[in-house]
Structures are given as C-alpha cells and as structure tokens.
Structure 1
Amino acid sequence: MNRIKLKSFLHTANVALLLSVAIAGTAQDKLLAFPGAEGGGCYVTGGRGGKVYHVTTLEDDAKNPGSLRYAVDQKGPRTIVFDVAGTIELKSDLVVNNGDLTIAGQTAPGDGICLRNYCFHIKTDNVIVRYIRSRLGDDSGAETDAAWARNQKDIIVDHCSFSWSVDETASFYGVENFTMQWCYITESLAASTHVKGAHGYGGLWGGNKASYHHNLLAHHYSRTPRLVGNDEFPEKCLIDMRNNVIYNWGPVLGCYGGGGGSYNFVNNYYKPGPATNEKPAIAGRITQAGVDDTFFEHGVFYLSGNRFDYTSPYLGSKAQQNAKASDEDNYEGLHIVESEYATKDDYIADREFVVRPTTTHTAEIAYEKVLRYGGCCLRRDAIDERVANDVRTGGYSYVSGDKGSNGSTGGLIDAPEDVGGYVEYTATELEMRNKLDSDGDGIPDNWEDMYGLDSADPSDALTTHKSGYSWFEYYLSTLVNSITRECQSLESGIPVTENENADADWAITSESVAIKGASALRAYTVSGLSCDYVVGDYMWLGRLDKGAYIIVADMGDGRVLSKRIVKN
C-alpha cells in the first residue's frame, strides 16, 4: 500500500471539507445536548425538563440543600446552577451516582467554580458537565484523578479544566456515546504523594463512539493519553481523536496502548517541549500500539492531517528528526511493538472510521482555537492562562529555580506550589445581584424581563423557544454563545464549493438527493457549516431549512464529490 500517497490525498480532502455540525437553529431529528455539542455524546439529554437546583454555598455538605454535593446526590432529571463563585474544598470524592444530570458551570457569577482536594467521579449515565474546574492537588493525600468515569454511557464534558492530579488527570474509558471537548488536561503531579512513586499522567481514554476533540494535554510525564481498547470485543471500541493539542509530553511513553478497536487520529497538533527531548524516540510519536497477549487483538488506526512542530529549541537533532518525519508522513508516528501476530500494515486503516460529525479544523487552526477558547474560559483563570502561554511560547513556569519541588524537570511539576498554587475565585456585588432569580427556575429575573418571560412564574422556563430548546436551556446557551460561535467557525480560507463530476450519478428531487455508490453524504450550508449527515447514498431533505446547500459525497474509493442544490 502506498501510505504516503493515500494519506496525502485524504489529508487534502479533509482540509477542503472541514467536516462540521450545525448548532441550534437547524432542523434536526434530535436536539443536541446543547448548541455546540459534538461527537459521540452530542445527543445526551442530561437534566433536560427536570428540576433546577441552586448552589448557594461553597460548603461541601450533603445535608445542605444549597451545596453542590446535595444537588448531585438528588435523583431524577435535574440541572445544577450556581449562585456563588469560588473554590469548593471537597471532603471526599464527589461521586455522581444518579444520572439525568446537567451541571451548568457557566451560570456561576464572576470567576466561576473550582473543585479541590478530591476526585470528580461520574458513576452513572446521561450526564452533561460544562465550565467546571477540578484541580485535585496534594493536600488531601488522595491518590486519584481530577475527573474520571468508567463503563458508563451518554456523557459529554465541555469546556472544563482538569489539573494537578496525583494519578491520571482526566480518565474516561469503557464509555459509550461519549464526548470530551474543549477541555484543558494539564500539569499532573509527577513526583507527588502516589504510593507507586513517579506518576504525572494525562489520562486513560477509551470507549465506543467516544470523541476526544479540541482538548489540550500539556506538561505530563506520560499517558497523553493511554488508549484503552477492547481486546475481547474490538468491534465495541471506536475512538475519535481530532483537533487536540499535545504539548511537552514525555519522557516515558507519551500516547500508547490501544488494544482491539478502531482509532481515528485526525488533525491533532503536537508540540514537543523540554521534557519530550529526554527520550528522542517519542518526539515524533502519535501513538504506540501492540498485540495483546490474551486475545491476540490489536488496534486499527487512521492517521491524517496531524502536524508536528519540530522547531523547539529544546529538541536535539535526533528528536527533531523524528518529529519532522512524523509531520511529513503521519504513519511514521505510529510506533508498533513487534509481534509475530501482526505487521505494521495490519494496524493501518485505509480510510477514516465513520463517527458523528465534529467541527474539524486544520491542525494549525485548532492549535490557535484551543489556546484561545479551550478550558473553563468563560472567565479564564490565571492557571489556564499561564499554561496556554507555556504552549504558545514553548516554555514552562517554575516559580523558583528550574525544577519541581521534588526534582522533576522539563516543565513537569511535583506540587501546585511549583507554579504558584491555587488562585482565588470571586464575584463582584453587581455580578451577585444579577443572579437574582425570584421564581427559582434557573433564569435570572433581569434576563426574563429582557426576553418577555415572567420572573414570578417558573413554568415558562420549560416552554419551548423557537430553537427547539426550552427557554431555560436557551438561556444557558446564551451565556457562552460567543465562545460556541468561535469554536465552530471554520476560518480555513477554503470554502466548501461545488465540484461536479461528469461520471457522478446524482439523483436530485425536491425531497431527496442521492448518488450511486456513495458511502456517506453530508449537507453543508454555503458558509461551510454541516447541517445533516447520513451513512449511505441517500439523503432525505426534510430536515433542512429552505436555502442553498453543498452536498458532499464520500465515494468510498478515495473520491470526494460535491453538488450544489437549492431547497425551496
């Protein structure tokens, strides 16, 4: 197989198409979890239509109706909103045992909310988490992650910041219909309180129909991430990693693992740092994979459009050479553990695995967008701002000397104090007053007044807005509209245009469009936003509003065809 030629063609096609998904306002069979929700978990319902719980205290008290823990422990569909800003010092792991939950961190006034001391653990299905920070630290002695979930389904984690963990930082595996998007996973503690010694890991990532996109992994000793496949049932593992930014990984393994399953690595941006150079072989690594010794299964990988910045002054000549080779041919970055059961060609997919549509930028544009709009960025704290600056400048931020407090080097830290420690989260008097919600429906009075709702009637929050969402869900989305818009804008300079082919067998009616032999069809607006997607060669147009569209057909043989239509 001519890997370089195939990879180059598909990379070009991917850049030209820039697959994306529409947000509110486009007719759909299902509502997205929220405008901007994408990937495997895009249709999670969370607490939709349920009760609203207000967090009014930073105390971690399960018996206090105003505490976060109390609200998390309740049953039934529910959404948690925040009337306070600050740090919640957890007294034990915050475990979500009851599903049908939305945690709307974007509702917090001022600087927002941060969890500290213990793990945020999702142990149930159907959960939406947005705009929350979880910075574990080492004060409690907990040897755990900042956030994790295992063997659950229907979860989406959006615009959260996870850091300062003792084990992995953010781990999600064995999950199904899952998305982690636009999150910061940074600065795990390399030589801290873990009983096994050196740790400092990014995370364990796995699942079926599991999407990890537009996230930042920075300053980790290893596991950036460790992939968790399914050796016994490889058909139940489909992991999509795209548009992530990975900085300063090493010096152990970087990304590795896998096992049985299917894996996309599309348009990720790799920027080696000072810790990466300690082991030149991993400077150009996208992932390392091997055959498991029980079921003799291995993963199958599709790699396209991934870029390496091999110009770091920290890289020696060998490390720079490895990074450059993987930039030029992504499959050079697929490192295989030798086995009698499989050759490298056995690990390589001929085409991208089909996943739920996700806004896909070029790696270079994703790099800029993740640094600008990733993490808990409604009001970005000094911690995320500092890490983003590290990535941009290619540096690190020890506050004293050139090492962590227990001797770690290369930008890897051993304690929060190595980089300045925790920060304070506050809200002004005006910001607190603007949270007044007389009827307790989750929508502040001033917003209800502005939109003609009744601030004395909680029932109107659950009536339907023209977007298809309830007025309450619509309100939640407006708090972060500008961020969502910037995250989903393409800014590619490459429009989605018609590319008719005389050999193509298009069949277009007022109700449908089809093309013989297509494996998938996508409908785009002329501005480049995707508004429908089907597997197969036939698309019903009933879900589309009136207007002009570009229909893009993946022909399954390397050809990508497109046709302009007008729906009247």
Structure 2
Amino acid sequence: MEIKAVVITAVLLCTKAWAQLPAFPGASGFGAAASGGRGGEVYHVTNLQDSGYGTFRDAVSKPDRTIVFDTCGIITINDKIKASPRLTIAGQTAPGDGIVIYGNGVSFASNTIVRYLRFRGSSSMPRGACTVVADDLEDIIFDHVSIQWGRWDNLHLKNSSRVTFQHCLIGESIDPQRFGALFEGPTNVTVHHCLWIDNQSRNPKAKAGIEYINNVVYNWGVNGLVGGHSAENHYQDVINNYFIAGPQSTDKFIGMFSGTDHVYHTGNFADLNKNGKLDGRLVIDTDFVSATATLLPQPTHKAPIKVKVQDASSAYTEVCKQAGASLRRDGVDTRIISYLKSLGTTGEIFRTDSAAGGLVPLKTAAALADTDKDGIPDKWERVMKLNEKDPTDANKKNAEGYTNIERYFNELLLN
C-alpha cells in the first residue's frame, strides 16, 4: 500500500507540474499554461484555398490538432472561420515569408496556442466584424501575431479567462469604427510587449481584469488606453508601458476611465511632442485621476507564470524588434513598424485596407522534406535523433513534458 501511495503521489506531482508547463519556453501571463493540441493529430496545411482538405479552414475544424504549414502566402477567406478547441497553430513552420489569413474574421475556442500568424480583415467583411474573436473561452495564448484591418474592432474578447497576448501587433483598424480592441468582461488577462498602432481608440478598451505590461501605444486618434467606464468594477494593472503620440494623436493617451476602474500604475511614460525622439515624461497619478479612475496602491493581478518586466524604454526597443509575426516580417508589418520608429512624425489611421496599401506579396519557398508526415522535417529528426520514418515519435514527451514536435517548434525559432 505504501508503494502504491508513493506511485500515486508521484503521478499527481507530475500531472500538476505539466498543468503549469508553459505553452512554450517564453510563454507568460495568465494564458501561458495552455496546452493546445499537445499529443493530438498533426495536420498539414498544404494549400492556400478557402476550403477543402489541406486548407487552414479544414485544419481548425476539429479539436486536438497540432497544425503545421507546408505552404506560404495569402489565404483569402470569404466567410468567417470558427476554430475548434485544443489546437496548436504553429505559424512559424511556414516556409518563405509565412502566412496571412485575409478577408474575414477568425474566432477561437478554449485551450489554444496561436503563434506567428497574420490575421487581416478587409472592407468587404460585414460592418460589425472583428478580425480576431476570442469570446467565452479559457486558456489561450497569442504569441507574435499580427491582427489588423478589423471593421468594428481588430480584436474582441468577451467573458473569457486565462488569456495572454504577447508580442502581438494590433493596428490599422478600418471603417466604420477604426478601434483597436474591446475587452468586454474577461478576467485574468495578460497583455504584454504588444504594439497598438494607428487605431482611433480602444488600445484596448479594458472593461476587464487585466495586467497591461510593457506595451507600446502609437498614433491613437481620440484615445489611447481606454477604461471600462461602466457600472461594473474592473481592475487594471498598468505597468511600464510607453504611450507615443503620432501625427493624428490627441493628448488623451489615457481616456474614459471611471470610478469603477480600479487602476494600479507604475513606470509608464508618455511622449506627446511628436519630435522624432523618444523623450517622454513619467505618467503620474493625475493622468489617471483626471480620467476619473480609482487608484490602487498595489497591483491586483498575479499570473502563475509571471511576465519578465522591463522598463518602458527597453520595452519600446523590444516591441520594435518583436511585435507581430516578426520571424520574417512582410511588407505591411514592416511599413507599420517604420511609423513607430519615426517617433511621432509618420503614421496614419486609415479608413480602408486599400487606403493602407492593401496586401503585399510574400516571398515563397518550398517546405522541408518530411517523410513520415509527423510535422518534423527529416533533417530535424536526424538532429534530434528521431526516426524520420516513424510518425509516432512526434508526440513522445521529454522530461519537461514537451512533445518532440514542440521541441522542433521551439528550436526552430533559435535558428
């Protein structure tokens, strides 16, 4: 009985350790323990069509999948895509300049990992549509994702919990609203090292329980970061962010807070002079008090996997390098980052995606050979001492709890 008890205890300890395993090395915040499609089917996206076998739409149509890309380019979708739960979407596996999902929105479900993809709406999608929707779910992380050209908001997050957006680019929302994001009632949300750029307002609208750390907000129109300003109580930890005015910005980098917005803030800077230099001043209590927020002496939120916090100037440098699908930035994101680097002298809040210049062609390349179709290219299998003719070894776990295919994903970003 004692031996059995020891075995059970060991199993429980391992289970608990894996439950808190980061989705990938470097994942942090409330959504960082999402396991996605770990251990499930490996699905290859092989073409750029809107529907049918081998398409992105088909890839996300069933749960428990790890999705890799054997193709690169622009996937134009006519209708909204609704993704299933328990997915890992590894955009970093795409050859060439990667993938753009263009033309309409994508909604996600619980326990999902999304990395290194570009989601762009268009003026042709419905008036009230958002480019990315993450409503009514738990445990999701978006890492190095570009989200643009939403008609109502670029991003919508409602009644969800344990969510992380890290190193994302959320910008260039278009008519009729041209808003960045509406966070409507979610709790335990982490947004860190993201770029919010060329949105009229809502960067985001934080009607939420949120830790907002090391973000850069650039060239807002009417308002920068917006409070919940509702009858419900909301709690926002605003830490070491940089607010940088652009050509169309007002001085309202903080706006529309109310007494029900309970804010802890520290280490934030605002650069409002549009002089091409990063020389902002420290954000002080009166900036939030004038927006009628209720100030707190201590932060409210404590994510189990903490964000490594930088000072605001270092965060600006990090965001310039990393925000969006930055493994290989395409022409759209490169243009947008150039606005940010101008530090106040360039940037525009466009009304349509065509006014922004529209899509830019992506450089293409062939996928690496993968004999057993397990998602790990043959040359990587040899490096990792796996069998390139045995598809079952992709889902074998190491001592940490990562599968071999996850090891490939993670090491791919180091090369």
Same fold (TM over 0.5): yes
1:364, 1:332 → 2: CA distance? 22
Q: Which amino acid aligns with 2:405?
A: F
How far off is 1:247 after superposition?
0.4
Q: Does 1:51 align with 2:41?
A: yes
Cα distance in 2 between the residues matched to 1:336 and 1:290? 10
Indicate whether 1:425 and 2:362 are aligned. yes
Q: What CA distance in whole angstroms lies between the structure 2 residues aligned with 1:50 and 1:68?
A: 17
The counterpart of 1:244, out of the listed 199, 202, 215, is 215
Residue in structure 1 matched with residue 71 of structure 2 by the alignment: 84
Q: Contact 1:170/1:202 (CA < 8 Å) preserved in 2?
A: yes
Tell me, yes or no, if structure 1 residue 120 matches structure 2 residue 106: yes
Q: Aligned pair 1:272/2:245, yes or no?
A: yes
1:271-300, CA deviations, whole angstroms, 9 ceiling, x for partnerless residues?
Answer: 0112113xx4x1xx3343125xxxxxx121
Task: Give the drift of 1:440.
Answer: 1.4
- Pairing partner for 2:119 from 122, 131, 134: 134
Q: How does 1:272-421 map to 2 (within 5 A)?
A: 272-277=245-250, 280=251, 282=252, 285-291=253-259, 298-313=260-275, 327-335=281-289, 347-356=294-303, 357-395=306-344, 411-421=348-358
Aligned-partner residue type, residue 257 of structure 1: G
**In 2, are the aligned partners of 1:305 and 1:330 still within 8 Å (CA)?**
no
2:406 to 440, 459, 473: 473
1:36 counterpart residue number? 26
Asked if the contact 1:126–1:154 (Cα under 8 Å) also holds between the matched residues in 2, the reply is yes
What SS does structure 2 have at the residue aligned with 1:481?
coil
Partner of 1:73: helix, strand, or coil?
Answer: coil
Which of the numbers 385, 394, 414 marks the counterpart of 1:461?
A: 394
Partner of 1:448: 381
Does structure 1 residue 219 correspond to structure 2 residue 198? yes
Contact 1:39 1:211 in 2 (8 A): yes
Match of 2:327, SS?
Answer: coil
Question: CA separation in 2, counterparts of 1:247 and 1:463?
Answer: 44
Residues 71 and 94 of structure 2 are in contact (CA less than 8 Å); yes or no, is this contact kept in structure 1? yes
Helix, strand or coil: the match of 2:407? helix
Q: Percent identity of the aligned residues?
A: 33
C-alpha contact (below 8 Å) 1:396/1:411 kept by paired residues = no
- 1:350 maps to a residue whose letter is P
Cα deviations by residue, 1:466-491 (Å, 9 ceiling, x for unpaired): 54311111101112236xxxxxxxxx
Q: Secondary structure at the match of 1:416?
A: coil
How far apart, in 1, do the equivalents of 2:284 and 2:325 lie?
Answer: 31
Q: 2:82 aligns with which of 84, 92, 95?
A: 95
The answer (yes or no) to whether the contact 2:86–2:111 under 8 Å persists in 1 is yes
Paired residue type of 2:151: V
**How much has 1:395 moved relative to structure 2?**
4.8
Gaps of 5+ in 2: 1-16
Residue identity matched to 2:135 = R
Superposition RMSD in Å: 2.2
Q: 1:480 to 1:287 in 2, by over 3 A?
A: farther
Structure 1 runs not aligned, ≥5 long: 1-26, 230-237, 292-297, 315-322, 339-343, 398-409, 483-568
Deviations 1:178-235 (A, max 9, x none): 101100001111xx3x4xxxx1001012521110111000111111111123xxxxxx
Q: Quick one: distance in 1 between partners of 2:285 and 2:323?
A: 28
In 2 relative to 1, CA 396–163 (structure 1 residues): closer, same or farther, beyond 3 Å? Answer: farther
| Preserved contact between residue 127 and residue 152 of structure 2 (Cα < 8 Å) | no
1:204 matches 2:204:
no
The two structures have a TM-score, normalised by structure 1, of 0.66
SS class of match (2:196) = strand
User: 2-side partners of 1:261 and 1:156: how far apart?
Assistant: 22
Residue pair 2:274, 2:345 contacting (<8 A) in 1 also: no
Give me the TM-score of the superposition, normalised by structure 2: 0.89
- Counterparts of 1:389 and 1:70, CA distance in 2: 35
Q: CA deviation at 1:418?
A: 2.4
CA contact (8 A) 1:118 1:142 kept: no
Q: Aligned pair count?
A: 393
Q: Does 1:72 align with 2:60?
A: yes
Residue 445 to residue 354, structure 1, CA distance change in 2 (3 Å): same
